[in-house]
Chain A
Amino acid sequence: MPKDDSAVKGAQGAGPRPEPQVLMGNYAAAEGALAAGCGFYAGYPITPSSEIMEVLAERLPRQGGVFVQMEDEIASFAAVIGASWAGAKAMTATAGPGLSLMLEGIGYASFTETPLVLVDVQRAGPATGQATRVGSGDVLQVRYGAHGDTCPIALSPWSVQEMYDQVIRAFNLAERYRTPVFVLADEGVGHLRETVVLHRDFELVARVRGNDQPPFGHPDPDGVPPMPIFGDGANLMVTGSTHDAWGFRKVDDAEPHDLLVRRINRKILDHAEDICEVDGRFLDDAEVALVAYGFSGRSALAAVKALRRAGVKVGLLRLKTLWPFPARQVAELGKAVRRLVVPEMNLGQVGGVVRQHVRCDVELLGQVNGEVIEPEAIERKVREVLP
């Protein structure tokens, strides 16, 4: 089992910057996991994510890691949690139906403060939907799917490069905040082939261990406690029942429950400035702005460029982080422009959230036909709603 320290060394063997190469998005995600020192992958095949597990099935063992195909997604997620507490940087990948099966485990990971990474390559839902077609209908499920109040982190890649970069960042955020982190990709990006540089220009966040402080409590209401692992001699008590700072179950007391639920939410929300990344284009003089993410961000940028050529003052705010929601950035944009348009491959999941944070008009452009939104469709929508 790779220890954290060796993983850090392995990943940062600086050297010359590698040449650009053409890779599929899902391959780049697997490369990101390897570069981040992922030591454990458990999964169950599902389109359009399976390439990630196929690459890792071959490569992870060669790097000293463990790959296991489990009997279903419930088991996969469970194994990832077990492996994380055994000290490995652990991950899985899936698509909508598998995500639905993992929900109970996702809540467990949030509540037990277990670092792990889940790459969800979204396809056209609901239900089995269209397995090989694109969608982004999992956005709110990732945010609110687990019962009880939790506050997951979700990143949204728009390119093959970002599949690589964001998987690495996801591992870092998972360790830094001791929480499950989603890379909320979509079939468009997952199966896209384009240029990527598998660079080593990143630092890795090593897990903070230590047995002398409580592993489930912190003096700060938004603090992240150290995380000993199995075998450290900490006599850990990990439980998904409400627990005190040392892990003793507290299933009847009001105070420990209130304290824990608030802290696991605040440790993310209070650090939104650190977690949230956005990418603004042509916003300085924009009167209308698009808010987009994932593959739709590409179409949005193409639409902005075409409209700019025609003299329309339009810009783009691309959300690289979806959860916690980049509320400040969106609110500021809402004050600077007269109208927002949110193109997305669902019926307004993020558009609805944008509306909660701005006073200006927010137009939704939801598309659920299993195809990516074309730039022309976005252009038309912007022209329709021009002030």
Chain B
Amino acid sequence: MTRAMEHWLRVPHTAFCPGCGHGILMGALVRACDELALDRRQLLFVSGIGCAAWIPSPNIRADTLHTLHGRAVAYATGAKLANPKLTVIVVSGDGDLASIGGNHLIHAARRDVPLTVVCANNEIYGMTGGQTAPTTPLGALSATDPLGNRYRPFDLIALVKGAGARYAARWPVTQPRPLTDALKRAITTPGFAFVEAISPCPTQFGRRNRVDDVTKLYDQMAGTCVTREAARALSPAERARCLVIGEFIDE
């Protein structure tokens, strides 16, 4: 992150592990806020529990509400409805938003509460030691699936779109520019908007899946991210192993 963005940060360093994608997402978030010239006095970040929940709290210099595991979207709903002038951005993990908090996620999308929900998806429970998440790919190894994950992951974009999200986008943190643009579009959407940032976790996911080199993990992740056009050329079986990236808006 450039020094020009430092005024958005409260602390000189983060608690993220080396190679964690969450720091890149944090950079994209503050850049999006900066480019939109958001008034930090009216800006509220809400997060749940997990490594991803530490992206805004306490790092970002604005109001931050660090809540309970899974409940960030419900807290954010209360704050936004009570003071509609606030720009409310939820930042949390895949486990937080899609497992324990899945019900709040779909209901907020259904209600079309003007919130931006950003999911830092590392396909694992990072903070608690690498257990299976509802986003862990089929067959991937985890602390609770030592023989490989037996169950399909959620497609979070399809989930929130099905629940009525006005705007949804998915980008890997290796593409910070489109990710930042997506965050800006989400923040300016006059309703419920969702951005999924694919954010590798070398410590828990990489290590357990024997990808011991951080750059290799990033390459692997970039390889599974395909555009919609490229996805069309894939067989259903191939597509199931991929993450389709881009913006998902109803025309």
Contact = CB atoms under 8 A, between A and B. Distances in A.
Q: Is B one of A's binding partners?
A: yes
Most buried by A among B42, B64, B71, B78: B78
Contact of B78 (A80, A247, A249): A80
A241 B40 CA distance: 23
A87 B83 contact: yes
B76 interface: yes
B223 to A, nearest CB: 36
Contacts of A39: 82
B44 A230 contact: yes
Interface residues of A, number: 42
A68 B67 contact: no
Contacts of B82: 1, 39-40, 66, 82-84, 86-88, 90
Interface in A305-341: none
A236 B75 contact: no
Nearest to A81: B75
Nearest to A248: B58
Contact of A70 (B10, B57, B63, B74): B74
Interface in A52-85: 66, 68, 70-72, 74-76, 78-85
A233 interface: yes
Contacts of A82: 46, 65, 74-80, 82
A86 B66 contact: no
Contacts of B63: 230-231, 234-236, 238
Contacts of B64: 235-239
Interface string B50-67: 000000011001111111
Interface residues of B, number: 33
A42 interface: yes
A343 interface: no
A238 B57 CA distance: 9
A74 B63 CA distance: 23
Nearest to A66: B81
B160 to A, nearest CB: 15
A39 B104 CA distance: 22
Nearest to A75: B74
B104 A75 contact: yes
B84 interface: yes
B107 A75 contact: yes
Contacts of B44: 86, 230-231
Nearest to B47: A239
A20 interface: no
A238 B79 contact: no
Contact of A85 (B10, B40, B79, B103): B79
B162 to A, nearest CB: 16
B68 A231 contact: no
Contacts of A230: 44, 63, 65, 79, 83, 86
B41 interface: yes
B214 to A, nearest CB: 26
**Chain B interface, DSSP helix/strand/loop, else mixed:** mixed
A92 to B, nearest CB: 10
Contacts of B103: 71-72, 75
A105 B68 contact: yes
Nearest to B40: A235
B210 interface: no
A239 B71 CA distance: 13
B74 A74 contact: yes
Interface string A114-125: 000000000000
Contacts of A68: 77-78, 81
Contacts of A104: 68
Most buried by B among A40, A85, A247: A85
A248 B61 CA distance: 12
B13 interface: no
A75 B77 contact: yes
B83 A247 contact: no
Contacts of B10: 235, 237
A70 B81 CA distance: 12
Given A231-B41, A236-B63, A241-B66, A79 B58 contact: no
Contacts of B78: 40, 42, 68, 78-84, 86, 90
B79 A1 contact: no
A239 B66 contact: yes
A182 interface: no
A65 B57 CA distance: 29
B85 interface: yes
13 contacts: A75-B77, A78-B67, A78-B75, A82-B79, A83-B79, A83-B81, A87-B82, A105-B71, A230-B79, A231-B42, A231-B83, A239-B64, A240-B66
Given A66-B81, A79-B78, A230-B83, 18 more contacts: A1-B84, A39-B82, A79-B74, A79-B75, A79-B81, A82-B75, A83-B81, A86-B79, A86-B82, A87-B82, A88-B83, A236-B63, A236-B65, A237-B66, A238-B65, A238-B66, A239-B58, A240-B66
Interface of B: 10, 40-42, 44, 46, 57-58, 61-68, 71, 74-86, 103-104, 107
4 tightest CB-CB pairs across the interface, nearest first? A82-B78, A79-B78, A78-B74, A83-B82
